[in-house]
Structure 1
Amino acid sequence: MDTIKVLILSTNLEEKFEIENILTNVDYISIARDADTMEDALAIIDVENVDVVLVSSNYNGDGYDFCERVTTEYMDKAVIIIESEVHEDIMHRALFSGAKDVVLVPIKPNKLVDSIYQANKLTRKRMEFQKVTPAKQRKSTGYGQIFTLFSTKGGVGKTFLSTNLAVSLAKNTGKKVALVDFDLDFGSIALAMNLTPRYTISDVVDDIRNLDPEYLNTYMTSHESGVKVLAANIEPRMNEFINAEHIQLILKNLQLAYDYVIVDMPSRFYDPVNPAFVFAEKVFLLTTPEVATVRNVKGAIATFVDFNFPKSKISVLLNKQSRRSEIRPKDIEKTLGYEIQYVVPADYKKATSTLNQGIPYVTKHPRGSITRSISKMVKTIGDGKES
C-alpha cells in the first residue's frame, strides 16, 4: 500500500499530539512537518506532496475557510475537518467547503484512520479518472464546468431555463453537455425534452461502486440536440437511499466526461443534492419580478450566507422580465443586495407551448427573444457564439 502523507493543522496542542500518537502507529501513514502559519501550511502541501490535510474547525480563525482554499487550489488533496460536535449547519459548512469528512473529538482512532484512508482513496481514484480520460477542450483544471440553477420559489422557470441553456450550450459551443435533474421528487426534465429515459438516478446509485465516467455515460439519455440527460426518478419513494456522497460521485464523474454540466435543482435546500452547490462554477439564482419570489430568493441568499457559501459563485438571473412588470430590476437588486447579471424576457405563449410539446424554445424559435438572451448568456459562460 502506498504511503499516505498527512498534514495536521490544529492550534490545540493536546489535540494535535493525540492525533500524532494515533497515526504514528499506522505503517502506511506518514506525518508532514509542523506548520507555524497558514503560509507554512500551504508551502508544506506543495513541497512535501501531502495527500490528506486534517484541519481543526477553528484553525487560523476558521478552518472551513482554509479547507475551501485548499480544495479549490489543490484538487488532488483531501481535507478532513476536526470538530467538537456535528449538526446540520456544521455538515452544510463542511460540504460547502469541500471537506471529505468530519471527525469528532474525542477522536476515535479507528474512525480517524478509516476517514483518512477513504478520503485519500476517493481523491486518488478521481485523479486516476482524470488521467485516463481522453484529452478534451476543458478549463485548466481538466474538469468540466458545473452550472447549477436554483430558486426557493417554484414556478420561476428553472426547468425551462435548464433545458434551453443546455441545448444552447451544445449548439453554440460544439462541446459535450450533460443535463442533470436533481429535483428528485418532482423532476420534469425528461418531460420537458420529450424523452422516455430507460435509466434514472436510482439506477446509477444502485451501481455506484462500479461508477466511472464511461460507465456513467451508459445511464444517460440522448437528446437530438446532442445533450445527454440524467433523469430524475419516476416515483419520489425511490429517492430515500440517495445521499450526498452518491451525488458527489455522480457530479465528479460527469465533470470528467463532459465539458458542461447543467443541474436543475429542487425548490428547496435538500441535503442529498447540496454537492451541486459545492462543485458549481456558478449557481444561477433565479428570480422573477414578483414580490413573493423576490422575498423567497432573499431568504435563499441569507441561507447561503449562513453556510459561508462564496458570494462570487452566485449569479442572480431575472426571468420573465417584461416592460409591464411593476417591479423594476433596480428594486430587485436593492432588495437582494446583488446585481442582476442575466435577464431573460417573458414570452409566455411561446414558452408554454414549447414546454407542452417537449421542444426546447431555442430549437423551435431560434430568433425568439428568449433564445437571444440565452445565447448572450452562453457567450459569457461558455465561449459560445451568439445566434
Structure 2
Amino acid sequence: MSRFLVITSVPDFERRVRAAVTGSMHGEVQALPPEVLSGGPEDVFRRLVGEPPEVLLIGPGVPGIEALKFATVFDLQHPEVSLVLVTDPDPDLMLAAMQAGIRDVAEPNVDVAGLRGLLERSCLASASRRRGLSNPGEGDEPGRIIAVMSPKGGVGKTTVSTNLAVGLAKIAPMGVVIVDLDVQFGDVASGLLLEPEHSITEAVHGPAAQDTMVLKAFLTAHPSGLYALCAPRRPNEADYVTAEHISRLLRQLSHEFRYVVVDTAPGLGERNLAVLELATDAVWVCGMDIPSVRGLNAAFDVLRELQLVPDGRHVALNFADRRSGLSVQDVESTIGVPVDVVIPRSKTLPYSTNRGVPVLQDGARDAALKGLRKLVQRFDPQWAKAPQSKLHRRVVVS
C-alpha cells in the first residue's frame, strides 16, 4: 500500500523521504515529477499505482505559486489527504499555504528524522479526517479501550499486549495505539524494538494534555502500522503520572484511534483502576501455575465488588502446558469464569520478545501463534458478526 506521494524535482529529497519511511513506517512511497501539477488532481491520480495516498508532499523544486494553486483545488476535492509544502521559509507564503489547505510546511533541507516526525503527524491527521468523513454522524464515537492485565508479574503480559497490538494493526492499519502503563518498569519499547523520543510522562502534561494534535507528536510509529506511547526511561518519573492523567489520556486517544491497547503494571493500583473505569474490554493474562491462578481469582473478587469488570472479558491462559499439573478445567473452576484463549508454552515467543519483533509481526511458525491469532480475532468486528462466533467457548491444551 502506497501512503506517501512526493512531487519533486530534487532526487536527494525523494531519497530522504524514502529513508524516513523505510523500516519505521507502514506503507510505501511513490514519486512524480512537478509537471503533473499542471494537469490537476485528476492527472495525479491517473498516474498513481494502487490506493490514493494519505500524505502528499509538494516540493522542493516546485514553484510556490503553482504549488498553492494545485493545493487549493486538491484540498477541496480530497480533504482526507494531508498536504505538506516543502519550501524555503517565507511568512507571506506560510499564510497563503494555510489558506490553500496545506496542513504542514517543511524546509527543503529537513533531515530524515525531521521528515519521519512530519510524516507521522500527517498520517495521524489524515486518519482523523478520514474517520470524520466516513462517519459524519459518528465523529465522536470512541474506539475500544483494551486493558491487558494481570495481578502478578512474570506471566507474559507485555508479550501478549505487543502481539495483540500488532495483530490489530493488520485489521486497522494506523488505527491502533499501545500505551505502556507500567510507568516504572515498562517494556513495550524494547518489546517492539523502539527508541522513543518521548514518553507518557511528557504526554500527560503541558499542551498535549489539552490538544490531541499535540499529543500525537509524542507517539512513536512502529513498522507494523501501529503507534506506541512508551513508559519513561527513569522509574522515578512514575510519580508524575496520576490516575486522573490516565483517564484524560485514554479519552483523548479513544477519539483518535479504533483500538487503544493498554499494557498495565501488575496488580490493581490506582492507575489500573482508572483504566478499568473506561475500558470496553479487559484481557486477563494468567500463567498456568497456582499463584497466578489464585491471584486472578482474588482480583476478580475485588473487581466484582467495585463493579469494575468490563463487559468485554477475555481470559488468556499463557505458558499452557499439560505437564504443569493443572488443567484448563482446574483454572476455570478456581477463577470462576471460562478460559477463552490458550497460548501454549513456546520457545519462540521469549526469543521474539528479546529480539523486539512480536511473532505476529514476522509470522514465524510457532505453537503460540494460533492462540495469539484467536485473541486478536475476538476484537475483529467481522468475527463478532459471524454466526459461529461465541465469546466464551471451552478450550483445551493440546
One-letter amino acid of the counterpart of residue 197, structure 1:
P
> What is aligned with 2:381?
383
Q: Measure how far apart 1:370 and its partner are.
A: 2.1
Contact 1:362–1:370 (CA<8 Å) still a contact in 2?
no
Q: Measure how far apart 1:162 and its partner are.
A: 0.3
Q: Measure how far apart 1:135 and its partner are.
A: 4.2
> What is aligned with 2:84?
none
Q: Measure how far apart 1:322 and its partner are.
A: 2.1
> What is aligned with 1:329?
328
> What is aligned with 1:361?
359
> What is aligned with 1:251?
250
Alignment of 1:274-313 (within 5 A): 274-310=273-309, 312-313=311-312
Q: Measure how far apart 1:273 and its partner are.
A: 4.0
Q: Measure how far apart 1:296 and its partner are.
A: 1.0
Equivalenced residues, count: 255
Question: For the structure 1 residues 202 and 136, does the alpha-carbon distance in structure 2 shift closer, same or farther, using more than 3 Å as the test?
Answer: farther
Moved more, 305-314 or 268-277: 305-314
Alignment of 1:233-272 (within 5 A): 233-272=232-271
Contact 2:158–2:263 (CA<8 Å) still a contact in 1?
yes
One-letter amino acid of the counterpart of residue 378, structure 1:
V
Deviations 1:312-358 (A, max 9, x none): 443221111123232000111111111111222221x2111111111
One-letter amino acid of the counterpart of residue 297, structure 2:
K
Q: Distance in 2 between matches of 1:356 and 1:246?
A: 31
- TM-score of the superposition, structure 2-length normalised? 0.60
One-letter amino acid of the counterpart of residue 145, structure 1:
R
Contact 2:155–2:318 (CA<8 Å) still a contact in 1?
yes
Q: Distance in 1 between matches of 2:274 and 2:154?
A: 23
Q: Measure how far apart 1:366 and its partner are.
A: 4.3
Alignment of 1:178-257 (within 5 A): 178-207=177-206, 210-257=209-256
Q: Measure how far apart 1:364 and its partner are.
A: 2.6
Moved more, 196-205 or 300-309: 300-309
Moved more, 375-384 or 225-234: 375-384
**Unaligned 5+ runs, structure 2:** 1-127, 384-398
Moved more, 206-215 or 285-294: 206-215
One-letter amino acid of the counterpart of residue 155, structure 2:
V
Q: Measure how far apart 1:310 and its partner are.
A: 3.6
Q: Distance in 2 between matches of 1:183 and 1:373?
A: 24
Q: Measure how far apart 1:137 and its partner are.
A: 7.1
Q: Distance in 1 between matches of 2:222 and 2:329?
A: 38
Q: Distance in 2 between matches of 1:281 and 1:298?
A: 21
Deviations 1:201-252 (A, max 9, x none): 1111222565333221110001111110000111121121221221111101
Alignment of 1:32-51 (within 5 A): none
Q: Distance in 2 between matches of 1:186 and 1:293?
A: 20
Q: Distance in 1 between matches of 2:311 and 2:136?
A: 21
Question: For the structure 1 residues 131 and 172, does the alpha-carbon distance in structure 2 shift closer, same or farther, using more than 3 Å as the test?
Answer: closer
User: In structure 1, the residue corresponding to 2:379 is in which secondary structure?
Assistant: helix
> What is aligned with 1:371?
369
> What is aligned with 2:40?
none
One-letter amino acid of the counterpart of residue 381, structure 2:
D
User: In structure 2, the residue corresponding to 1:277 is in which secondary structure?
Assistant: helix
**Unaligned 5+ runs, structure 1:** 1-129
Contact 2:167–2:360 (CA<8 Å) still a contact in 1?
yes
Question: For the structure 1 residues 228 and 273, does the alpha-carbon distance in structure 2 shift closer, same or farther, using more than 3 Å as the test?
Answer: same
Alignment of 1:94-133 (within 5 A): none
Question: For the structure 1 residues 279 and 242, does the alpha-carbon distance in structure 2 shift closer, same or farther, using more than 3 Å as the test?
Answer: same
Alignment of 1:50-199 (within 5 A): 134-135=132-133, 142-174=141-173, 176-199=175-198
Q: Measure how far apart 1:175 and its partner are.
A: 5.5
User: In structure 2, the residue corresponding to 1:319 is in which secondary structure?
Assistant: strand
Off by >6 Å, runs of 4+ in structure 1: 130-133, 137-141
Contact 1:169–1:175 (CA<8 Å) still a contact in 2?
no
Q: Distance in 1 between matches of 2:135 and 2:364?
A: 26
Contact 1:137–1:259 (CA<8 Å) still a contact in 2?
no
Q: Measure how far apart 1:268 and its partner are.
A: 1.3
Q: Distance in 2 between matches of 1:242 and 1:337?
A: 34
Q: Distance in 1 between matches of 2:137 and 2:174?
A: 12
Contact 1:173–1:383 (CA<8 Å) still a contact in 2?
no
Contact 2:148–2:263 (CA<8 Å) still a contact in 1?
yes
> What is aligned with 1:98?
none
User: In structure 2, the residue corresponding to 1:324 is in which secondary structure?
Assistant: helix
- TM-score of the superposition, structure 1-length normalised? 0.61
User: In structure 2, the residue corresponding to 1:154 is in which secondary structure?
Assistant: coil
Deviations 1:114-148 (A, max 9, x none): xxxxxxxxxxxxxxxx9997346799771110111
